[in-house]
């Protein structure tokens, strides 16, 4: 059974940093591209960042480019999102999700999400 | 960035009804569209990929059509568990943009 479990969400002050983790199990993690999607309170889904299975390719939404870094440790079956220079508008539930294949494709499995709150 | 415009933003229906949600892309994206369902306080759930291919766990009353710029999600014979918010997403080009969502209500 595919499982994605996010952690690391917290209350942080504007300008602060946070690292989210997503522990994956039930599949060959290194084969699949992974992505982060967020949802601000009461709002829709927003794609944040993606990384290929081989870690060669990464992409970011303009809203987080230069502030967020996606990475993965295939030996630990874990996906990360390093978030720096956090702003109030980064407040959201952050979902980790698996793409159908190594290079991309649609998302097939989602984690349950972790809440990031940016506030003083 | 490719914009995905969903309509309607909300929709009232009854159990047993047939409903259609549309999604229009600002550029041609082939069939690189997915549909997701989200219930309150839950993570999204994947329904359809490649515009018309159902995920294994999705009942056959769901269907998707379209290519290029116009896409539809149809649910025939609505069931109580289908009342949720639905999102389309293009994955032709990064960023993989979502539509704004359609809330399906009783």
Residues B60-82 have pLDDT tens digits of 999 999 999 999 999 999 999 99
Q: Which of B44, B50, B55, B64 to mutate to test the interface with A (most CBs of A within 10 A)?
A: B44
Instruction: In whole angstroms, give the CA distance from residue A46 to residue B23.
Output: 16
> Is the confidence at residue B88, as pLDDT, over 90?
yes
Interchain contact, A62 vs B49, CB within 8 Å: no
Of the candidates A61, A107, A113, which has its C-beta nearest B34's C-beta?
A107
Rounded Cα distance, A107 and B82, in Å = 20
Contacts of A37 in chain B (CB under 8 A): 44
pLDDT digits (tens, 9 = 90+) for B21-38: 999 999 999 999 999 999
The answer on pLDDT for A56 being more than 80 is no
* A43-53: b (≥16 Cβ within 10 Å) or e: eebbbbbbbbb
Instruction: Calculate how close chain B gets to A91, using CA atoms only, in Å.
Output: 16
Supply B100's token pair: 């704004």
Distance in Å from the first CA to the final CA of chain A:
40
- Mean pLDDT to the nearest integer, B41-48: 97
């Amino acid at each position: 059974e595919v499982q994605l479990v996010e952690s690391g969400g917290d209350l942080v002050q504007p300008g602060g940093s946070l690292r989210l983790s997503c522990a994956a199990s039930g599949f060959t993690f290194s084969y699949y591209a992974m992505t982060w999607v967020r949802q601000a309170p009461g709002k829709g889904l927003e794609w944040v960042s993606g990384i290929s299975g081989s870690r060669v390719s990464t992409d970011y939404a303009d809203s987080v480019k230069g502030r967020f870094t996606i990475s993965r440790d295939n030996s630990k079956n874990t996906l990360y999102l390093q978030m720096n220079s956090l702003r109030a508008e980064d407040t959201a539930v952050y979902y980790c999700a698996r793409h159908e294949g190594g290079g991309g494709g649609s998302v097939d499995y989602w984690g349950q999400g972790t809440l990031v709150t940016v506030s003083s | 960035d490719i914009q995905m415009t969903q309509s309607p933003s909300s929709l009232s229906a009854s159990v047993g009804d047939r409903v259609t949600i549309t999604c229009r892309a600002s550029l041609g994206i082939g069939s690189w569209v997915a549909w997701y369902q989200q219930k309150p306080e839950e993570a999204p759930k994947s329904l359809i990929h490649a515009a018309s291919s159902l995920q294994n766990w999705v009942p056959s009353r769901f269907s998707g059509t379209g290519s290029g710029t116009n896409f539809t999600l149809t649910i025939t014979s609505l069931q109580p568990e289908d009342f949720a918010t639905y999102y389309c997403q293009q994955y032709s080009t990064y960023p993989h943009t979502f539509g704004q969502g359609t809330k399906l209500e009783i």
